[in-house]
Amino acid sequence: MRTEMDFARQMAEHCADQWQRMHTHPFVEEIGRGTLARDKYIFYLEQDYVYLIEFCRLLAVLTAKAPDFGTLVRFKDLLRLTVEFEMDLHKRTCAEFGVDQAELEKVEPAPYCLAYTSFLLGTAYGGSFTDGVAALLPCAWGYYEVGRRLAEAGLPKDKYYADWIGTYSSTEMKDLVDYLRGLVNRLAAGASDADRRRWMELFSRSVHFEVMFWEMAYNKLGKAV
């Protein structure tokens, strides 16, 4: 009989170097200090808005694949939270920077953004419900951990970066991450070793993409000229 385990934590430990890099990349450290160049932040917001549209499609697929009605309702609520809470931050901030809704909707995905969202959607459509959850977990969990650590260090004077930190360190984000980690742990409890290895690899791949998303934003990789 298997003992109780925190499989979500095991997945993070499986890719510990990249997981740490995700939380200490210069992009997020400079948000925390309020020193990130504004053009990099705008590029990030535009690309992350494109990412979130595809993330909503991912959540819709997983809602349809949910193993029970209670889980279906939670993923439906997560989809609503993403649209009404997280994407609103991007739209509101971009508008204040002079990028209106019409311009935002015309943004094309940069290569790393496209690769990441294609990986997530391919996993959701072609794999199991748990495959999709393992692949999406680094996004929610990683952002919450980044936001929490930055908030604990003290908010920067720049209101836009303080708003970003506040969004991702919020009680709503904590509750979401607690739910997703608990869900992964429950699903993994009775799973085969092969399934758990696959989920670890999917999780690791998403962590790598998260690091590259910071890298893309920090260096404006794929920015149209």
Give pLDDT, residue 84. 83
Number of domains in the chain: 1
Is residue 81, in this structure, part of any structural domain at all? Answer: yes
Distance CA 122, CA 149 (A): 32
Q: Tell me the residue type at 145.
A: E
Catalytic residues: 139, 210
Give pLDDT, residue 86. 81
Give pLDDT, residue 224. 59
Distance CA 129, CA 87 (A): 24
Query: Are 177 and 185 in contact, with CB atoms under 8 Å apart?
Result: no
CA dist list (Å): 49 to 42, 101, 181: 11, 11, 24
Give pLDDT, residue 87. 87
Q: Which residues of the chain have pLDDT under 50?
A: 1-4, 225
| pLDDT tens column, 107-150 | 999 999 999 999 999 999 999 999 999 999 999 999 999 999 99
Give the single-character DSSP code of 190.
Answer: T
Is residue 7, in this structure, part of any structural domain at all? Answer: no
Closest CA to 177 of 133, 139, 131, 140: 140
Is residue 224, in this structure, part of any structural domain at all? Answer: no
Give pLDDT, residue 23. 94
Burial 75-108 (b: 16+ CB within 10 A, else e): beebbebbeeebbebbbebbeeeebeeeebeebe
Distance CA 169, CA 154 (A): 12
- Long-range contacts of 124-128, Cβ-Cβ distance < 8 Å, separation of 24 or more: 124/58, 124/61, 124/62, 124/65, 125/61, 127/202, 128/65
Is residue 199, in this structure, part of any structural domain at all? Answer: yes
Distance CA 80, CA 76 (A): 6
Give pLDDT, residue 88. 85
Is residue 2, in this structure, part of any structural domain at all? Answer: no
Q: What is the CATH number of the domain that holds 206?
A: 1.20.910.10
Give pLDDT, residue 222. 86
Is residue 85, in this structure, part of any structural domain at all? Answer: yes
Is residue 76, in this structure, part of any structural domain at all? Answer: yes
Q: For residue 212, what are the domain limits?
A: 13-219
Is residue 1, in this structure, part of any structural domain at all? Answer: no
